[in-house]
């Protein structure tokens, strides 16, 4: 799919075959620190694979390091293959996990290993990307997130007070049931939660053409009345997938707020992540994130809702402007720093007549030798 030119690049001149896994030279001297640090510690041995750092929704995933169990050149064990598969799946850009899954399955050539990897990777991917699934009764969407997770396959939708059973790999809801009382917050908490949900939904509908949001109670859900602290998490997720245009992107924001009764204060923290992937003639990815902090005073549920939503709206618009600015700066400064459009002479390079540009070296002499 797509116009990825698989170059039939000429093979290098016949030479000694590479020792297994050793395309990295042992005498490499990195002159400038590269933005992509090498993860190989030794050219012909250990194959380190670490999971990408997880966004706040997922519980801190351990970073498994997989050292070569046999010597280099021995076939991989099933568990090593599974780890590699999980890594690929976890790193799929927004909206692309199924394409990645297809490739991984083909490469593994072993359905059992693939299925084990998929079972491990898909739930984490769905949570990290705040994947939203349509509820079977069409009452709305449910967001897959740690905040709503009751167990591995069951997620709460606070707005409709339902619990959906989810097939992570197919990314569909298989069952739906009303939430039990223990699963829902108390009436007191629910007043705050739903007021915020209403305001937030208005904001999201206005600001994001394809956004979904949800408000979860993260702590203190059984509090019956004022006097104790409680915590909420707000999740906003917008994704746009245009595989026919070779472009996908996602906006994810997670806001957590702590309502402090004693100080009559609401402490707000946010993390916004915006990604985009363009892959028509290559592979270009935008990966950005920012942490925000703010606060407001504790008020009635409706006033809190308005105040918090305004804060979120403010920070998110600010971030959008800041992204625009980053684009401008990179375009103006750094890109131009890298390569000029034309040499200072404003003409193309005179390949015929490089004598005009001889530096301190004796170019003329060298050229006389050549063709």
Partner 1 sequence: MEAAMDLMRRMPPASAETALNALLSLLPDHSLDLLSQVDLPLQVCMDKETLKEYILCEYNRDADSYRSPWSNKYDPPLEDGTVPSEEMRNLEIEANEVFSVYRDQYYEGGISSVYIWEDEDNGGFIACFLIKKDGKGTRGYMQIGSWDAIHVIQVGPEEEGAAHYCLNSTVMLSLTTDNKQSGTFNLSGSIRRQMSMTLAVADGHLVNMGKMIEEMEGKLRNSLDQVYFGKTREMVCTLRPPPEVLNMRLPDS
Quick check: 141 binds partner 1 (CB under 8 A)?
A: no
Quick check: 132 binds partner 1 (CB under 8 A)?
A: no
Quick check: 333 binds partner 1 (CB under 8 A)?
A: yes
Minimum CB separation from partner 1 for residue 110, in Å?
10
Beta bridge partners of 165: 154, 175
User: Which of these ranges, 6-14, 146-154, 180-188, 256-264, lies near partner 1 under the rule CB under 8 A?
Assistant: 6-14
Specify the residue, 281 or 303, whose C-beta has the smaller distance to partner 1: 281
User: Which of these ranges, 118-126, 178-186, 190-198, 350-358, lies near partner 1 under the rule CB under 8 A?
Assistant: 350-358
Task: Please select the residue that binds partner 1; options are 107, 180, 263, 297, rule is CB under 8 A.
Answer: 107
Interface positions, 72-91, toward partner 1 (CB under 8 A): 73, 76, 80-81, 84, 87-88, 91
Minimum CB separation from partner 1 for residue 305, in Å?
21
User: Which of these ranges, 115-123, 173-181, 235-243, 255-263, lies near partner 1 under the rule CB under 8 A?
Assistant: 235-243
369 phi and psi angles, rounded to 5 deg: -70, -35
Quick check: 125 binds partner 1 (CB under 8 A)?
A: no
Minimum CB separation from partner 1 for residue 137, in Å?
27
Please spell the DSSP secondary structure of 50-103, one letter per residue.
-PPPPPTTS----------SS-TTSPPPHHHHHHHHHHHHHTPPTT-HHHHHHH
Alpha-carbon distance values, 101 to 97, 125, 250, 276 (Å): 6, 12, 19, 19
CB 271 within 8 A of CB 55: yes
Quick check: 346 binds partner 1 (CB under 8 A)?
A: no
Minimum CB separation from partner 1 for residue 295, in Å?
18
Binding mask 23-62 for partner 1 (x = CB under 8 A): xxxxxxxxxx-xxx-xxx--x---xxxx-x----------
Quick check: 335 binds partner 1 (CB under 8 A)?
A: yes
User: Which of these ranges, 56-64, 143-151, 227-235, 332-340, lies near partner 1 under the rule CB under 8 A?
Assistant: 332-340
Quick check: 135 binds partner 1 (CB under 8 A)?
A: no
Beta bridge partners of 236: 213, 253
Binding-site size for partner 1 (CB under 8 A) equals 134
Question: Which residues, at least 6 apart from 171, have a Cβ–Cβ distance to it below 8 Å?
Answer: 122, 126, 131, 133
Alpha-carbon distance values, 51 to 83, 88, 110 (Å): 9, 9, 22
User: Nearest Cα to 110, choosing from 71, 80, 152, 144?
Assistant: 80
Minimum CB separation from partner 1 for residue 308, in Å?
18
Interface positions, 270-329, toward partner 1 (CB under 8 A): 272, 274, 276-291, 316-317, 319-327, 329
Q: Checking DSSP bridges between strand 230-242 and strand 211-219, what pairing results, if any?
A: antiparallel
- Cα 258 to its chain centre, rounded Å, is 25
Q: How far apart are CA 302 and CA 185, in angstroms?
A: 17
Q: How far apart are CA 27 and CA 270, in angstroms?
A: 44
194 phi and psi angles, rounded to 5 deg: -75, -30
Quick check: 180 binds partner 1 (CB under 8 A)?
A: no
User: Which of these ranges, 114-122, 137-145, 225-233, 246-254, lies near partner 1 under the rule CB under 8 A?
Assistant: 246-254
Quick check: 138 binds partner 1 (CB under 8 A)?
A: no
Minimum CB separation from partner 1 for residue 96, in Å?
6
User: Nearest Cα to 268, choosing from 238, 309, 299, 227?
Assistant: 309
């Amino acid at each position: 799919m797509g116009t990825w030119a698989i170059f039939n690049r000429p093979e290098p001149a016949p030479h000694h075959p590479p020792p297994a896994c050793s395309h990295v030279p042992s005498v490499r001297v990195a002159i400038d620190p590269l933005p992509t640090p090498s993860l190989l510690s030794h050219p012909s041995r250990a194959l380190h694979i670490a999971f990408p750092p997880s966004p706040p929704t997922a519980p801190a995933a351990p970073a498994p390091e997989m050292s070569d169990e046999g010597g280099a050149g021995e076939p991989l064990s099933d568990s090593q293959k599974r780890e590699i598969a999980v890594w690929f799946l976890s790193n799929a850009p927004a909206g692309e996990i199924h394409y990645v899954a297809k490739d991984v399955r083909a490469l593994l050539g072993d359905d059992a290993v693939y299925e084990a990897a998929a079972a491990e990777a898909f739930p984490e991917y769905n949570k990290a990307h705040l994947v939203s699934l349509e509820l079977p009764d069409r009452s709305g969407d449910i967001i897959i997130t740690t905040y709503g997770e009751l167990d591995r396959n069951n997620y709460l939708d606070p707005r409709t007070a339902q619990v959906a059973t989810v097939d992570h790999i197919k990314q569909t809801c298989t069952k739906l049931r009303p939430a039990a009382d223990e699963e829902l917050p108390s009436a007191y908490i629910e007043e705050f939660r739903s007021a915020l949900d209403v305001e937030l939904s208005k904001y999201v509908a206005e600001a994001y053409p394809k956004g979904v949001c949800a408000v979860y109670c993260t702590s203190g859900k059984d509090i019956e009345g004022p006097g104790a602290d409680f915590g909420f998490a707000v999740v906003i997720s917008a994704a746009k997938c245009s595989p026919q245009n070779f472009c996908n992107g996602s906006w994810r924001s997670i806001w957590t707020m702590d309502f402090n009764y004693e100080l009559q204060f609401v402490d707000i923290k946010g993390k916004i992540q915006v990604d985009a992937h363009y892959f028509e003639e290559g592979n270009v990815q935008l990966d950005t994130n920012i942490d925000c902090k703010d606060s407001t005073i504790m008020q009635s549920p409706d006033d809190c809702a308005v105040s918090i939503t305004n804060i979120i709206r403010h920070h998110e618009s600010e971030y959008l402007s800041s992204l625009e600015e980053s684009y401008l700066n990179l375009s103006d400064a750094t890109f131009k720093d890298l390569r000029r459009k034309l040499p200072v002479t404003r003409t193309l390079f005179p390949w015929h007549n490089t004598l005009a540009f001889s530096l301190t070296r004796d170019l003329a002499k060298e050229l006389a030798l050549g063709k």
